[in-house]
A and B are shown apart, each in its own frame.
Chain A
Amino acid sequence: QSVLTQPPSASGTPGQRVNISCSGSRSNIGRNTANWYQQLPGTAPKLLIHNNNQRPSGVPDRFSGSKSGTSASLAISGLQSEDEADYYCAAWDDSLDGSVIFGGGTKLTVL
Chain B
Amino acid sequence: EVQLVESGGGLVQPGGSLRLSCAASGISFGNFWMSWVRQAPGKGLEWVANIKQDGSEKYYVDSVKGRFTISRDNAKNLLYLQMNGLRAEDTAVYYCATGQTTMVKWGQGTLVTVSS
Q: B57 at the A/B interface (Cβ < 8 Å)?
A: yes
Contact A99 B44 (CB under 8 A): no
Residue of A nearest to B99 (CB): A47
Quick one: which of B64-116 are within 8 Å of A by CB?
95, 100-109
Bound: A50/B105 CA distance, A: 12
Residues of A16-66 whose CB lies within 8 A of B: 32-33, 35, 37, 39, 43-47, 50-51, 56
Question: What is the CA–CA distance of A16 and B53 in the complex, to the nearest angstrom?
Answer: 43
State in angstroms the CA–CA spacing of A32 and B61 once bound together.
18
The answer to whether B45 touches A99, judged by C-beta atoms less than 8 angstroms apart, is no
Do B44 and A44 touch (CB < 8 A)?
no
Determine how close the nearest CB of chain B comes to the CB of A5; give it in whole angstroms: 12
What range describes how many residues of A lie at the interface? 20 to 34
Contact between B102 and A99, CB atoms less than 8 A apart: no
Contacts A88-B44, A101-B47, A102-B44 hold; do A45 and B103 have CB atoms under 8 A apart? Answer: yes
A105 with B109: CB separation less than 8 A: no
Inter-subunit contact A44/B104 (CB<8 Å): no
A102-B47 in contact given A44-B109, A45-B95 (Cβ < 8 Å): yes
**In the assembled complex, B21 has its CB within 8 A of some CB on chain A:** no
From A45, A46, A99, contact of B61 by CB (8 A): A99
Smallest beta-carbon distance B70→chain A, Å: 11
A51 to B104 Cα, complex, angstroms: 12
What residues of B have a CB within 8 angstroms of the CB of A35 in the complex?
101-103
Contacts of B105 in A (CB 8 A): 47
B107→A44 contact, CB < 8 A: yes
Q: Is there an interface contact between B103 and A47, defined as CB atoms closer than 8 Å?
A: yes
Option from A2, A88, A91, A98 in Cβ contact (under 8 Å) with B59: A98
Rank and list the top 4 A-B pairs by shortest CB-CB distance, nearest first.
A98-B59, A105-B44, A100-B47, A92-B101
20 pairs, A vs B, C-beta closer than 8 Å: A2-B44, A35-B103, A44-B95, A44-B106, A45-B37, A45-B103, A46-B106, A47-B104, A47-B106, A50-B102, A86-B44, A88-B44, A90-B103, A98-B60, A99-B47, A99-B59, A99-B61, A100-B35, A100-B100, A102-B46
